[in-house]
Amino acid sequence: MDINVVNSLTYEDFVQIFGSVVEKCPLISAAVWSRRPFRDLADIETHITEFIHNLPDSGKEGILRCHPDLAGRDLQSGTLTRESQEEQSQAGMDTLDSTEILHMYRLNAQYKERFGFPFVICARLNKKAEILHQLSERLTNDRAAERERAIEEVKKICSLRLRNIVRCDIQTKL
């Protein structure tokens, strides 16, 4: 989709199309719509990032809680969003054997117990081994550092989801 087309979308259409760029948080695109006209994809991304940055810690943690576990119950029962399903399968989360699923489940539970929100990582930029490594390593962070770390991952997920929607001429490194 061209940026001029994005700028001409009604509020309803914009939220319909961009509502999932941050998992289960259509409120963010609803808020960002009022910042039109956008110069380009990077401009939309900047407004989303700003919105998230300005949230209180409870709001940031709320965003994290909207994310499904990696290789969790939603994946097993086929109730992930389309975006999350694609991302988790790209990272090989849908082909784990039962030992790996159990390992992941235990680490996810430990992480949630420690921080009060689920472990979030950009699955499209990481393979199985790296995800497990990060999950163990990030468990040792303190809560504030980990909240910020996880929000950085949300931004990467969002950036890749946006690029699936809006035509982008410039390749920036994530």
Among 44, 87, 151, 158, binds ligand 3AL (CB under 6 A): 87
In the set 47, 53, 67, 103, the catalytic residue is: 67
Minimal distance, residue 151 CB to ligand 3AL, in Å: 12
Neighbours of 10 (CB within 10 A): 9
- Of 107 and 123, the one with the shorter C-beta distance to ligand 3AL is 123
Minimal distance, residue 30 CB to ligand 3AL, in Å: 21
123 binds ligand 3AL (CB under 6 A): yes
Are the C-beta atoms of 112 and 61 separated by less than 8 Å? no
Q: Which long-range contacts (CB under 8 A, 24 or more apart) does 101-107 make?
A: 101/71, 101/76, 103/132, 104/70, 104/71, 104/72, 104/132, 104/135, 105/69, 105/71, 105/72, 107/132, 107/135, 107/136, 107/139
- Give yes or no: 47 in active site: no
- Of 7 and 76, the one with the shorter C-beta distance to ligand 3AL is 76
Residue ranges in contact with ligand 3AL by CB under 6 A: 23, 67-70, 84, 87, 118-124, 157
